[in-house]
């Protein structure tokens, strides 16, 4: 009986220790959405400072209107660059869910005594996608070159090493249901960045649409979110040589 009681006490203590550890690992910032940040701006949140933790080049191309640029390497080298009042509301952002710059910058701010901290985890790509106010520099509309993948090459990858690739159909859900490349998931181009959190950076990402317009936009967003191994395919090319097509909404 005594042994049972001791075991029960041990289990309670272990659970308490785990809970304590989890609490201690809690981030010193809140995670906010683009809509929540826009609401802060609209209501003129007192002391609100939007901090873009990306590179100066990225900032000059496009940034949230009214934001200031404090790149993470600058903050790490010189934390004194954070010269705001300690009761300011600081919102950090970078290039989306997989970008670690804004959380690192927010943790650094917390170590300096800032307590009103938030991270816009969706980042700049989702903010743009939702049509919220931006500053667009002269290079904003500059075209980029995409890496195209031919249908037969894509089919070979899907057959030989299917787990090494994520194939994304960026058309609308009804188009996807009418016919898509087997193994593709559907993330519509209209909210691609917002729904991109499940994409893995250690896999090759291939985006496709019917003729290239929407997949170009998705490719551009992936580029901005620092996905390294990406390619663009064309669904009509796949169909024209008679490769298999799946139907339905199974993802």
Instruction: Count CB-CB contacts under 10 A for residue 29.
Output: 23
Q: Is residue 209 part of a domain?
A: yes
No. of helices (H) and no. of strands (E), the chain:
10, 11
pLDDT digits (tens, 9 = 90+) for 94-128: 999 999 999 999 999 999 999 999 999 999 999 99
Q: What is the mean pLDDT of residues 49-75?
A: 97
| R_g of the chain, CA atoms, integer Å | 23
Average pLDDT over residues 184-191: 96
Spatial CA neighbour of 180 closest among 160, 210, 201, 155: 210
Give the per-residue pLDDT at 54: 98
Q: Measure the CA–CA gap between 129 and 146, rounded to whole angstroms.
A: 20
- Both 132 and 194 in one domain: the answer is no
Instruction: Verify that 124 and 155 share a domain, yes or no.
Output: no
| pLDDT for position 251 | 47
Q: Dihedral of CA 232/238/243/244: which sign?
A: positive
Whether residue 216 is predicted with pLDDT greater than 70 in this model: the reply is yes
Instruction: Flag whether 182 is in a domain.
Output: yes
Assess whether pLDDT exceeds 80 at residue 142.
Answer: yes
Containing structural domain, residue 206: 151-240
Count of alpha carbons within 13 angstroms of residue 70, beta-carbon side:
25
Do 112 and 155 lie in one domain? The reply is no
More confident: 50 or 248? 50
29 phi and psi angles, rounded to 5 deg: -140, 160
Residue 12's pLDDT is 36
Instruction: Based on the fold, state whether residues 159 and 223 are members of the same structural domain.
Output: yes
pTM strictly above 0.85? no
Span 148-171, pLDDT tens digits: 999 999 999 999 999 999 999 999
Q: Look at residue 250 in the predicted model and tell me its pLDDT.
A: 60
Same domain, 225 and 129: no
Same structural domain, 123 and 52? yes
Last residue of a domain, one of 136, 164, 195: 136
Task: Work out the average pLDDT over 42-68.
Answer: 97
State the pLDDT confidence band at 24, using cuts at 50, 70 and 90.
Answer: very low
Instruction: Round to whole Å and give the CA distance between 243 and 153.
Output: 12
Return mean pLDDT, the chain: 90
Looking at the structure, tell me whether residues 32 and 122 fall in a common domain. yes
* Distance between CA atoms of residues 242 and 137, nearest Å: 44
Q: Are residues 184 and 128 in the same domain?
A: no
Domain total of the chain:
2
State which of 81, 107, 136 marks the end of a domain.
136
The structure tokens 């209209």 sit at 190
CATH number of the CATH domain containing 101: 3.40.250.10
Identify whether residues 199 and 132 lie together within a single domain: no
pLDDT at 249: 79
Judgement on whether residues 87 and 163 belong to the same structural domain of the protein: no
Edge-to-edge strand order for the sheet containing 230-234?
185-186, 165-169, 204-209, 230-234
The answer to the question of residue 245 being in a domain is no
Tokens of 11: 């289990």
102/126 same-domain check: yes
């Amino acid at each position: 009986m005594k042994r049972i009681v001791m075991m029960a006490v041990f289990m309670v203590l272990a659970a308490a220790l785990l809970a304590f550890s989890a609490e201690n690992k809690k981030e010193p910032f809140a995670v906010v959405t683009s809509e929540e940040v826009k609401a802060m701006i609209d209501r003129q949140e007192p002391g609100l400072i939007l901090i873009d933790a990306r590179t100066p080049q990225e900032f000059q191309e496009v940034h949230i209107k009214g934001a200031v640029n404090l790149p993470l390497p600058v903050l790490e080298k010189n934390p004194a660059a954070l010269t705001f009042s300690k009761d300011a509301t600081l919102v950090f952002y970078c290039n989306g869910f997989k970008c670690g710059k804004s959380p690192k910058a927010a943790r650094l701010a917390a170590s300096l005594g800032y307590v009103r901290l938030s991270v816009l985890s969706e980042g700049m790509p989702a903010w743009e996608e939702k049509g919220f106010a931006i500053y667009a520099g002269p290079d904003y509309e500059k075209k980029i070159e995409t890496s195209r993948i031919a249908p037969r090459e894509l089919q070979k990858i899907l057959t030989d090493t299917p787990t090494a690739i994520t194939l994304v159909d960026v058309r609308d859900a009804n188009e996807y249901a009418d016919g898509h490349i087997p193994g593709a998931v559907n993330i519509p181009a209209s909210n691609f960045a917002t729904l991109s959190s499940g994409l893995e950076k250690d896999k090759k990402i291939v985006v496709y649409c019917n003729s290239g317009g929407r997949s170009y936009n998705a490719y551009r967003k992936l580029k901005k979110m620092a996905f390294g191994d990406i390619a663009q395919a064309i669904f009509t090319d796949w169909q024209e040589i008679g490769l298999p097509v799946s139907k339905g909404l199974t993802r």
